[in-house]
């Protein structure tokens, strides 16, 4: 019996997680690698990292696959607009392949700066084109597709459960279909599983299928990667809430159309953040990357503290003031670790189990953080907390060296002798190591600045 309770988008209920086998199979929809991730994009990976770490702390084996969308899909959620990778290549003055390579490297650096647990597999969409083609063949054999001028489309009217996952109003969709609605499509909700490249159309990424150049529709890579790397149905599928009505709905349809299976048992979606109450957008100049936060004096760990101080399903508003609060909280926790080095702190024996219970309760990290704030914790507790949240608390808070300890003792002696010149000199030397000394009733205590 598992301790984890999570909100399953498929049932719209909090459920007790039951794994289907010995290994919990998880798939996370990853980034389209055409630009640097902004801090809103990164929230998802931080929340799903906590989910993986919670499962590991609960004693599960986990296999997680994260995809990298290096095939350009179109800027709009429909099958129209500009291809994102082509757009990135134009902007950077390079090829689509170089754009993908560049932003994959930047994403992986962000990922490791955020101390996120590496997936078992980073799956690049371009490595799965053969599987995509086989999947389209299968969907066609099973009668789910039709071919029109610009591609092979999934006929959503053939899949009875199509509207269930996102509770889509198909009638409303039909009535509200845009004027430029592709008139060859049979239903407004039909979507491309394979797009054809028109003669003369500039599209660098292309593969031959049905005797013409083309490329897979956006959603297909996820269904194919899950099929090849994990085997459906998987245990947990994660993404942002914007994925529910189109991307995930279409992944489910493709998996059913090709293999006759359901895709995942539990679906987790995280909400969006705003910045100073506004949407993240170029025109507002608030598209911050981790590098931008760094320039303002905040580390990736400070940002992670900020993200985990709220709930993954809540709408969160980011401000630099609240980030400052998260940074100070982390410094306070690090100084409590420093305290543990200096005196024997006996933690409440059940302190960590209370913290783990909070995250097992639909990943209530803000409650877990409040418990951490208020409990007496030993160094052993802090090690477990660090493992659960990946906050690099211990690594960034090493005990000080013997030489530094003797400097602190020398400062105390100087003060007793009223040699304030020497004690001030030592204070300045310690400050250079980011260490402050506080005089308490029990003698001098050092802290990180």
Q: By the criterion CB under 5 A, which residues form the site for Zn ion?
A: 29, 222
- Min dist. Cβ of residue 110 to Zn ion (A): 19
Interacting residue with ligand AMP among 272, 320, 341, 405 (CB under 6 A): 272
Give whichever of 144 and 218 is closer to ligand AMP, judged by the CB atom: 218
Give whichever of 44 and 408 is closer to ligand AMP, judged by the CB atom: 44
Could you say whether residue 68 binds ligand AMP (CB under 6 A)? no
Parallel, antiparallel or unpaired: strands 435-440 and 443-448: antiparallel
Q: For ligand AMP, which stretch binds (CB under 6 A), given 6-14, 38-46, 134-142, 215-223?
A: 38-46
Give whichever of 29 and 188 is closer to Zn ion, judged by the CB atom: 29
Give whichever of 33 and 435 is closer to ligand AMP, judged by the CB atom: 33
Comparing CA positions, the residue from 10, 2, 447 lying closest to residue 269 is: 10
CA dist 146 to 130, 140, 185, 331, Å?
A: 20, 7, 9, 59
Q: How many other C-beta atoms can be found within 10 angstroms of the C-beta atom of residue 190? A: 23
- Min dist. Cβ of residue 174 to ligand AMP (A): 25
Q: Which one of ligand AMP, Zn ion, none interacts with residue 338, CB within 5 to 8 A by kind?
A: none
Q: Which one of Zn ion, ligand AMP, none interacts with residue 295, CB within 5 to 8 A by kind?
A: none
CB-CB contact of 203 with 215 (8 Å): yes
Q: For ligand AMP, which stretch binds (CB under 6 A), given 133-141, 214-222, 238-246, 253-261?
A: 238-246
Task: Locate the DSSP E strands across 200-347.
Answer: 207-209, 212-216, 234-240, 264-270, 273-275, 316-318
- Min dist. Cβ of residue 132 to Zn ion (A): 13
Q: Which one of Zn ion, ligand AMP, none interacts with residue 272, CB within 5 to 8 A by kind?
A: ligand AMP
CB-CB contact of 157 with 143 (8 Å): no
Binding to ligand AMP in span 240-259, by CB under 6 A: 240, 242-243
Interacting residue with ligand AMP among 8, 9, 28, 43 (CB under 6 A): 43
Could you say whether residue 30 binds ligand AMP (CB under 6 A)? no
With vertex at residue 218, the alpha carbon angle to CA 292 and CA 198, rounded to the nearest 5 degrees, is 110
HEC readout, 174-190: HHCCCCCCCCCCCCCCC
CB-CB contact of 209 with 194 (8 Å): yes
Give whichever of 65 and 430 is closer to ligand AMP, judged by the CB atom: 65
- Min dist. Cβ of residue 257 to ligand AMP (A): 23
Please give the helix or strand (H or E) that residue 335 lies within, else none.
helix 320-342
Give whichever of 87 and 158 is closer to ligand AMP, judged by the CB atom: 87
Could you say whether residue 295 binds ligand AMP (CB under 6 A)? no
Comparing CA positions, the residue from 224, 264, 252, 232 lying closest to residue 125 is: 224
Could you say whether residue 273 binds ligand AMP (CB under 6 A)? yes
CB-CB contact of 74 with 84 (8 Å): yes
Q: For ligand AMP, which stretch binds (CB under 6 A), given 58-66, 235-243, 251-259, 402-410?
A: 235-243
CB-CB contact of 438 with 444 (8 Å): yes
Could you say whether residue 41 binds ligand AMP (CB under 6 A)? yes
Q: Is 404 exposed, middle or buried (0-12, 13-18, 19+ CB in 10 A)?
A: middle
Interacting residue with ligand AMP among 170, 210, 280, 444 (CB under 6 A): 280
Q: Which one of ligand AMP, Zn ion, none interacts with residue 222, CB within 5 to 8 A by kind?
A: Zn ion
- Min dist. Cβ of residue 273 to ligand AMP (A): 4
The most distant pair of C-alpha atoms in the chain lies apart, rounded to whole Å, by 92
CB-CB contact of 421 with 428 (8 Å): no
Q: Which one of ligand AMP, Zn ion, none interacts with residue 40, CB within 5 to 8 A by kind?
A: ligand AMP
Give whichever of 188 and 273 is closer to ligand AMP, judged by the CB atom: 273
Give whichever of 46 and 222 is closer to Zn ion, judged by the CB atom: 222
Which residue number places its CB atom closest to ligand AMP?
Answer: 240
Could you say whether residue 40 binds ligand AMP (CB under 6 A)? yes
CA dist 69 to 31, 172, 343, Å?
A: 6, 31, 50
Binding site for ligand AMP (CB under 6 A): 32, 40-41, 43-44, 240, 242-243, 272-273, 280
């Amino acid at each position: 019996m598992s301790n984890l309770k999570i909100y399953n988008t498929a049932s719209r209920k909090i459920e007790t997680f039951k794994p289907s086998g010995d290994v919990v199979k998880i798939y996370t929809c990853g980034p389209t690698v055409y630009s640097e991730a902004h801090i809103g994009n990164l929230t998802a990976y931080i929340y799903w990292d906590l989910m993986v770490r919670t499962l590991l702390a609960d004693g599960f084996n986990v296999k997680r696959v994260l995809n990298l969308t290096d095939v350009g899909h179109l800027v709009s959620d429909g099958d129209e607009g500009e291809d994102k990778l082509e757009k990135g290549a134009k902007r950077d003055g390079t090829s689509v392949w170089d754009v993908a390579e560049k932003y994959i490297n930047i994403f992986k650096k962000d990922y490791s700066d955020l101390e996120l647990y590496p997936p078992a597999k980073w799956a690049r969409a371009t490595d799965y084109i053969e599987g995509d083609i086989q999947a389209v063949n299968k969907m066609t054999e099973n009668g789910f597709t039709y071919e029109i001028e610009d591609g092979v489309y999934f006929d959503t009217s053939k899949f009875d459960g199509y509207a269930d996952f996102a509770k889509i109003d198909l009638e409303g969709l039909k009535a509200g279909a845009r004027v430029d609605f592709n008139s060859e499509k049979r239903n407004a909700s039909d979507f491309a599983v394979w797009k054809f490249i028109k003669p003369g159309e500039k599209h660098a990424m292309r593969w031959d299928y049905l005797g013409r150049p083309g490329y897979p529709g956006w959603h297909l890579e996820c269904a194919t990667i899950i099929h090849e790397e994990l085997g459906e149905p998987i245990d947990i599928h994660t993404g942002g809430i914007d994925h529910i009505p189109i991307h995930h709905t279409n992944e489910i349809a493709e998996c059913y159309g090709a293999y006759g299976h359901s895709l995942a048992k539990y679906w987790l979606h995280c909400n969006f953040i705003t910045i100073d109450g506004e949407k993240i957008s170029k025109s507002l100049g608030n598209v911050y990357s981790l590098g931008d936060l760094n320039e303002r004096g905040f580390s990736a760990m400070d940002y992670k503290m900020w993200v985990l101080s709220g709930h993954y399903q809540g709408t969160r508003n980011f401000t630099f003031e609240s980030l400052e609060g998260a940074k100070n909280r982390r410094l306070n926790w690090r100084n409590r670790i420093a305290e543990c080095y200096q005196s024997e702190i006996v933690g409440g024996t059940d302190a960590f189990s209370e913290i783990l219970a909070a995250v097992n309760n639909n990943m209530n990290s803000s409650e877990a953080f409040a418990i951490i704030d208020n409990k007496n914790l030993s160094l052993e507790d802090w090690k477990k907390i660090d493992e659960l949240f990946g906050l690099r608390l211990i690594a960034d808070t090493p005990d000080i060296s013997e030489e530094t300890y003797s400097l602190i003792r020398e400062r105390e002696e100087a003060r007793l002798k009223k040699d304030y010149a020497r004690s001030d000199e030592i204070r300045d030397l310690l400050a250079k190591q980011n260490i402050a000394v506080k005089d308490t009733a029990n003698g001098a205590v050092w802290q990180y600045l």
